[in-house]
Structure 1
Amino acid sequence: MRGEPSCPRCGGRVRAPGLFADSWQCAAHGSVQPLQPVIPPSVEALTAVVQRTHVPVWMPWPLPVGWLFTGIAYAGDDRSGGRATAVACSGPGPLGGPGELILVAEEPGVGLGARYAGLEGPDPGPYLNVEKPPQSKVLAAGRPTPLWHVSGTPTDRAAFAGEALGMWLWAVMWPEQSSLLMYDELVLTDLRDAGAEIDLVPCGALSPRLMRP
C-alpha cells in the first residue's frame, strides 16, 4: 500500500526538495506539505502517526455503536513531522446504510480538510458563516468546541469546521444524512494523549474515501 507522496490539496504529484526549492512542490499549488501514502487501519499504523505528528489525531472516543477505525493519513515529511492528520471511521449511518466520517486536524494553509470536503480551500474560513451560532458542538480534548456548517460542498457529503487546540478541525461525512451524528455532541479524543487506550481501537477495512474523496 506504500506509494509516493502527493499534494494534500489536489492529490497530484509533488516534487521533493532539491536544488531549486527547499520544500515539496506541487505544479498547481506551489509549496505544500506532502501527503504521505494512506496507511491501512491498524493499531501499529495509528501509533506510528501519533508519534510523529505535531497536530492532534482526533477520533470519536468512545466510537459510536458499531463504528470502526478505517484508516489514517498525514501530511508532512521526516523533517517537518506531521502538519495535518486525517482519521477515517465507518459504521452504520443514523438513518440506515453505511456512514463514513473523516476528522482532519491541520495547520492553516495545508488544505487537506478542504480536499476531503470537496472545496478549493485551503482553509475553511471563506465557507463558514461565523456570524451565526455554530450548528454543532463537540467536546474536543475536554473543551467545548463549536463547529460551523461548511457551505459549497458536493451534495454527497456534509462538512463542519472550527478550531481546536489552535488548529483547524474538519469533520466530513458521507452520505450527507450522516451529518446527524454531529448533533449528538461527539466526544473527540486527541490520540496523542490516549496512551495504552490506543490498543483498544477496533479496526475495520480501509476506507476508500481517504484515497478518493
Structure 2
Amino acid sequence: MRGEPSCPRCGGRVTAPGLFAESWQCAAHGAVHPLQPVIPPSVEALGVVVHRTQVPVWMPWPLPVGWLFTGVACAGDDRSGGRATAVACTGPGPLGGVGELILVAEELGVGLGPRYAGISGLDPGPYLDVEKPPQAKVLAAGRPTPLWHVAGAPADRAVFAGEALGLWLWAVVWPEQSGLLMYDELVLTDLRDAGAEVDLVPCGALSPRLLET
C-alpha cells in the first residue's frame, strides 16, 4: 500500500510544491491534484474524506443487499481540498460471484475516473455517444442522472459516465457482466449530506481495485 501521494492519472510519484512550482507535479503529466494514500476502509477514514473534499462522495445508499463499503480515495491536498473522490463497494454480483463498483466524482481535468476506467485522456466526453439515449440512470442527490456507456474500456469491466451536480460522475463495475447493477436505477447519496448515517456504513476488506495503476 502506498504511503505517499501519487499522480491520479498514472499512479506515478509526484513532487510537492516548492521553490520552482506552486502545485504538485508529475513528471509525465505536469501539474496534478495528488492522489492521497489509500487507507483501509472504516467509518473514520470515510469521515476524513467527507469533511475535507470539495466534490461529492457518492455511495449507493442504502447499499444493495450484501454489499459493503470497501475503501475510499481522494485527490487533492490540504490547501485545495479534495477535487476528486473514489468510493469502492463490493458485494454479490447480479449474475453470481463477486461484484465490485467504484464511483468517482471529479472536477474537469483531474483524471482519476479515466484511470479506473482504463482509458486515456482526462474526461469521458470523447468516449460517450450522447446523441443516443443513456444506457443507465441513477438518482444522484435526489436528481435523475443519465449515464452513458464509455466506449474503449477494457473488456473486464463496464464503465458508465455522466454529469451530476456539475461534475463528472463515473461508475466502474467489475466484472463486465456486473454492469447489470447499473440498470436498477441505483440511488446515490452524497455522503457529505448524510450526517450521522455515515456511522452506519458497513465496512469490508479493502478493495484491491482502488490500488490499481
Place the TM-score, normalised by the shorter chain, in its bin.
Answer: over 0.9
> Is 1:93 aligned with 2:93?
yes
Counterpart secondary structure, 1:10: coil
Report the Cα offset of residue 39 of structure 1: 2.0
Report the Cα offset of residue 121 of structure 1: 2.1
RMSD of the TM alignment (CA)? 0.8
Q: Which residue of 1 aligns with 2:112?
A: 112
Counterpart secondary structure, 2:199: helix
Runs of 4+ in structure 1 off by over 2 angstroms are: none
Structure 1 gaps, min length 5: none
Task: Map Cα deviations across residues 168-190 of structure 1 (whole Å, 9 max, x no partner).
Answer: 00000000001000000000000
User: How many residue pairs are counted as aligned between the two chains?
Assistant: 213
Structure 2 gaps, min length 5: none
Residue identity matched to 1:36: Q
Q: Which residue of 1 aligns with 2:78?
A: 78
Counterpart secondary structure, 2:101: strand
Identity of aligned residues (%): 86
Looking at structure 1, the residues matched to 37 and 13 of structure 2 have their Cα atoms a distance apart, in angstroms, of 12
Looking at structure 2, the residues matched to 121 and 45 of structure 1 have their Cα atoms a distance apart, in angstroms, of 29
1:25-104 map, 5 Å = 25-104=25-104
Looking at structure 2, the residues matched to 38 and 32 of structure 1 have their Cα atoms a distance apart, in angstroms, of 17
Report the Cα offset of residue 2 of structure 1: 6.0
Q: Which residue of 2 aligns with 1:154?
A: 154
Looking at structure 2, the residues matched to 143 and 126 of structure 1 have their Cα atoms a distance apart, in angstroms, of 25
> Is 1:197 aligned with 2:197?
yes
> Is 1:131 aligned with 2:135?
no
Looking at structure 2, the residues matched to 2 and 156 of structure 1 have their Cα atoms a distance apart, in angstroms, of 25
Report the Cα offset of residue 120 of structure 1: 1.1
Residue identity matched to 1:172: V
Q: Which residue of 1 aligns with 2:10?
A: 10
Looking at structure 2, the residues matched to 2 and 172 of structure 1 have their Cα atoms a distance apart, in angstroms, of 22
> Is 1:174 aligned with 2:174?
yes
- TM (norm. structure 1) is 0.99
Residue identity matched to 1:206: L
- TM (norm. structure 2) is 0.99
Counterpart secondary structure, 2:115: helix
Residue identity matched to 1:85: T
Counterpart secondary structure, 2:114: helix
